[in-house]
Every structure is written in structure tokens, then in C-alpha cells.
Amino acid sequence: MKNFTIYLTGFLLLFLTEIFAQDQKGEVVSETFESRAKGIANKIENITKEEKAALKAEIEAINNQLDKKEITTEQAEVKKQELAAARAKNIETRVAVAQDELKDLVQEKVDGKIKESDSSRTWVIHFDNKRRKNWNHDGERRTTSQFVFAFGLNNLVTDKALAHSDYRYWGSHFYEWGFTANTRIFKNDNLLHAKYGLSLMYNNLRPTENRYFQENGKQTELVKSTVHLNDSRFRNVYLVVPAHLEFDFSKKEIKNDKTLFRTHKSMRVGLGGYFGANIKSKQILKFEDEEGNKVKQKTKGDFNVNDFIYGASAYIGYKEVSLYAKYDLSPLFRDNAVDQNNISFGVRFDFN
């Protein structure tokens, strides 16, 4: 599942650049947000290819030892598992650096330190790999793309109530990042847009009263810890497909007797939802042992969490910034006696 998440990270980055480069024979010649994002995506892709190639060579070496009867079948399987775990760790470590670059890139975008990806872009178009023609695209296409980043507070609605929650209101949080396409529905009207894409969604819960999650058969319960917990956090990661009907109140412009439709220039409202799959559940506990050593315990498992997720979401804002809310219509746990549904409130950025 860890490798699957890494591949998805690279795929999501490539998704953005493919939308921007809708003319398959063209390429952006200026350094912009999307071109740098594509560089990070290529880096992640190369990392996974290198590590997979190295693992393949190591597995072949073990198979040769097995054929020569230098090791037993059991020893070969153990070695293969150890090598696979080591390569997975290498991928995680190396990709973490690329993910930090992505975070820095987003921060530069927020701070206005990176060149705006505006609607006037210079493209180089190749015809039959023989001729080249410069084209200046004036005005946004009917379909544009955005990098989406959101964060905020997260909690569970238990038995249809949010009050008196078992989870810290300010300590529990969510964040989400991904890429969307935004298609103007009517050719000559800018109000309605279909917005759809792919996102990675991270939902974190921090229980109150020194508790943590424990599986009890098909039930997942909060139990009291016998040691003082400095931190107790339960994280679920989802790959989701969000889809919204967006009302964009940006005014059209007239330039050289031509009508241009802009997006993300005024107030926007989005109504819709999402569906997807759980790709990782993990509990993180921090405490001190009897000798005073600081311990960080990570447990990855099923925790009886629903494999699939679907819900409703909405946002309202101005230009790139919106207030954002989402609610899981599917319960967090499959078979708990009382349904608990995830709910989130926060801020969303749509970088056009």
C-alpha cells in the first residue's frame, strides 16, 4: 500500500501537466508552476523506476542462489521480503524529499514568488515533426486546470451529533491536495462549470482523555492507555475523485472584438461530492517508557475502516481562496454499533 501511495503521488502530479499540455505536440517554454510540478513528477517517477530495477536485479541474484541450491526456499523468501522492504524504505525516503519540494513550490505560489500561470501562454507546436509554429493563446481555454490544496479541522459525527466529541476539536485536522479540470459548461456563458479531478485526502483524529484505538473483533473502540500518551493520532488516507458544479461569477472581457472568459477572478461557489478508496490507515502513539526514553509507535492496519468512501462537499470563496466543508456519508468503521461519519471544515486554495 505504501508503494501504491507513492505511485499515486507521481500520477497526480503528471495529471496536472497533461491537462495543461492538452495539445499533445506542444510544450510550455517558460518556467511556471506547472512546469516545475512536472519536474517533480518526473523525479518521483525516476525514483520508483530506479528502485524497482535494483530490486529486480537483487531478486534475480537470489533466484540464482536458489537454483544452485546455495540457499533453501525459505531462506530465499525471507531475503526477498527483506530486500523488498528495504527498497520500499528507499523509495519512501527519496520521495519524501520530492514531496518537500512540492510543499515549497506551493508555498512559493502562495507567497507570490513564482511566475503566475496566466491565460496568455506561449506554446511551441510541432507539425509532423518537421515544421514548428509559434502560437500565443489569448484567453483561457474552455477547460482549464488547477492545483488544489486544502486544510482545516476534522472530527467525527457520532450518532448524528458533533457535540461532546471523543476527539480534540483543535488537535484533529485534515489536509487534501490534488489536481482538477474545470470545464465551462456553456460555450457563451461563464457561470456554470464542471469541476472534477483526483485528490489525496488525509483525515486525522486525536482522541481525548489519554485514549487510543484498539480492534476488538469486528469492533474498533477507544480504550484508556496504561501509560501517559504525549500524542495519540489516527490517520486515514484516501484517493478520491471529487466532482463539483461550480458557479463562477467572473465577468467576461472584450479584447480586440473577441469575448474572453476568465475563471477564478471573482466569487465562486461549488456544490458536489466525492468518492474513492482507503489506501492507508495508521495509528501513531508517542510516550515515554519506564526508563524515560521517548517512544514513537506507528501501527498500520485495517482497524475495520471502510474500504470505500463517499460524501458531500461544498466551498464558497473569492478568486483562489475558499471556505471548504466536506462530510462523509459513509461511516468510518464498517461494523461498529454506532455510525461515526467524518466531517471537516477548512480553507481551500485553487491555484489556476
Q: What string of pLDDT tens digits covers the 352 residues of the chain?
A: 445 445 555 555 555 455 444 433 444 334 566 677 777 777 777 888 888 888 888 888 988 888 888 888 888 888 888 888 888 888 878 877 877 777 777 777 666 666 544 443 433 334 344 443 333 344 457 888 899 999 999 999 998 888 889 999 999 999 999 999 999 998 888 889 999 999 999 999 999 999 999 998 889 999 999 999 999 999 999 999 999 999 999 887 777 767 778 788 899 999 999 999 999 999 999 999 888 899 999 999 999 999 999 999 999 999 999 999 999 999 999 989 899 999 999 999 998 8
Quote the pTM value: 0.63
DSSP string for residues in 255-273? ETTEEE---SSSEEEEEEE
What's residue 287's pLDDT? 93
What's residue 15's pLDDT? 52
Do the beta carbons of residue 203 and residue 175 sit within 8 Å? no
What's residue 118's pLDDT? 42
Q: Please give the order of strands across the beta sheet that includes 26-28.
A: 26-28, 121-127, 131-137
**In whole angstroms, what is the distance from residue 293 CA to residue 281 CA?**
26
Sign of CA dihedral 269, 149, 208, 343: positive
Q: Collect all residues with Cβ–Cβ distance below 8 Å to 177 and sequence separation of at least 6.
A: 12, 106, 147, 148, 149, 150, 199, 200
> 124 in helix, strand or coil?
strand
Amino acid at 20: F
What's residue 140's pLDDT? 55
Cell 450518532 locates to 159
What's residue 18's pLDDT? 52
